[in-house]
Structure 1
C-alpha cells in the first residue's frame, strides 16, 4: 500500500530508536496527526507478565483527569427503584428486562454497562455476547455496585478500565488529538502511574517493557519507560 505524502512527512518527524519523554511525545503527536476527524490518542504498554497465569493478570481502572474526549454511552441495568438516579447521573439507556432481551438478540450499542449485584445472575447467560466485547460488568471495575449513580457519573467523567491482553499488552485511550499536549500528558501519566502500582508480585524481571503512543493513523512514538 502506497503511503501518502502526509504519512511520509509524519514518519520523518519521529526519530528512529529515540525514546521520548511523555511531554515530548504529546507535543510531537499533535504535529504528526493529520486526520480530518478528531483522532483518538492511545497508549500501548507491553508488560513483562504472563497473562495466562491468574497471579500475573493486570487489570484496573483509572480516572483520566481530562476524560477520553469520547462521549461514553452507558447502559444502566437496574431495578425500577434505581432508574431515576441512573438517569439523573447521565445514563443513556436505563431499564432491565427489555434491554436483557435486546442484548440476547445481539444488541451491544453501548460502551459500558453498569448494574447491581442482584442482577448479575441474569447477565450470566449473556456472557457470550458481552464477554468478547468487554462489556460484562465487573465489581473490580466498579460497574457492579449499589451506588449506580456514582458508577455512571464516573464513567461519564472519563473513568476507563483496562486489562492486559493475551500477548501482554495493555491498550488504553488517553484522549483526542484536539486535546492540548498538557492534557494528553496528564492523562498519559495518570494511566502509566496507575499501571506501575499494579505490578503483580509474581512478575519477575522488567515490568514495563515498552510504551508507545499513537493516534488514529499516526506513526507510533516510543516512550522512555521511566517516563521522565
Structure 2
C-alpha cells in the first residue's frame, strides 16, 4: 500500500489540479505517467449541463470509436431462426434463446454485451433483474435491440461504447488504452464528444459540455481545455 501511495504522490507532482490541458498535451502526459504493471485504460468524464432529475434531459446512446477501446468484447445474442445464423457469422460468441437465458440465470456464462432481435425480447425480459443492474439490458436506444443483429454484433466487436449520464449529469467512458497513439486517443475522444453533442436534449439550456476530465486506470486525473477540441464548441 505504501508503495502505491508513493507512486501516486510522484504522479500528482507532475500534474496540475487547476490547469486545463490542451488535448494532445494532456493525453501525452497521462500516457507517460502510466507506470502500472499492466496496460492501463484511458477514461474520460464529461460533465454535462443537464438536470438529470428530468427524464427529458438524460443523455443515453452509443457510438463506435474509430480505433476501438483495446478491450476484447464477448457478445451474446438472443435470436432464432435465420437471424441466429447471421449473428454467428457476424462474430457473436454465443447465440440462443431460452437455453441462453438459463445459462445467464445460473451464472454459467461471461459476457460484456447483450444483443437481441425484437422477437426475442419476451425471453430477455425475464432477465431484467440480472441484466438491468449491470447496465446490460438490450435497448433500442443504444442499438442492442434490432432486426439487424449482424451490424450490432460487428459494432460491438469493433469498439462501440455505450454511454449514459449518472445522477450528477456526468458521462463516464473508456476511450482506449495508454499504448494507443496520442492521435488515436484524441480521435476516439473527439468521436465521443461529437456523438454527445448530437444527442443534446432540446430542453437542456446553457453550456452543454461544462467540463471534460481524463485519467488512467491507476493514475491521476486532469482537466482539458475545450477550446481546440473538435466537437466541443
Using structure 2 for the length normalisation, give the TM-score.
0.92
- Alignment-derived partner of residue 222 in structure 2: 221
Q: Which runs of structure 2 are paired with 1:18-167 in the superposition (5 Å)?
A: 18-106=19-107, 109-167=110-168
8 Å CA contact 1:76, 1:86 repeated in 2 = yes
Deviation at 1:227, TM superposition (A): 4.7
SS of the residue aligned with 2:126?
helix
CA distance in 2, matches of 1:111, 1:22: 30
Q: Residues 175-210 of structure 1: CA distance to partner in whole angstroms, max 9, x if unpaired? A: 011111111111011111211222212112222221
CA distance in 1, matches of 2:35, 2:228: 25
CA distance in 1, matches of 2:223, 2:148: 40
Point out the more displaced range, 49-58 or 68-77. 49-58
Point out the more displaced range, 103-112 or 142-151. 103-112
CA distance in 1, matches of 2:220, 2:106: 39
CA distance in 1, matches of 2:107, 2:167: 25
CA distance in 1, matches of 2:117, 2:12: 47
8 Å CA contact 1:47, 1:207 repeated in 2 = yes
Q: Residues 87-118 of structure 1: CA distance to partner in whole angstroms, max 9, x if unpaired? A: 11111111111111122334562111111001
CA distance in 2, matches of 1:56, 1:132: 21
Q: Which segments of 5 or more consecutive residues in structure 2 lack a partner in the other structure?
A: none
Q: Residues 3-49 of structure 1: CA distance to partner in whole angstroms, max 9, x if unpaired? A: 54332222111123100122111111111111111111110111121
CA distance in 2, matches of 1:49, 1:170: 11
CA distance in 2, matches of 1:124, 1:53: 26
Count of matched residue positions in the alignment of Structure 1 and Structure 2:
228
8 Å CA contact 1:78, 1:119 repeated in 2 = yes
8 Å CA contact 1:74, 1:92 repeated in 2 = yes
- Alignment-derived partner of residue 10 in structure 1: 11
Deviation at 1:137, TM superposition (A): 0.7
CA distance in 1, matches of 2:89, 2:42: 30
Q: What CA RMSD, in Å, does the superposition of the two structures yield over aligned residues?
A: 1.6
- Alignment-derived partner of residue 185 in structure 2: 184
SS of the residue aligned with 1:188?
helix
CA distance in 1, matches of 2:174, 2:7: 23
CA distance in 2, matches of 1:44, 1:161: 13
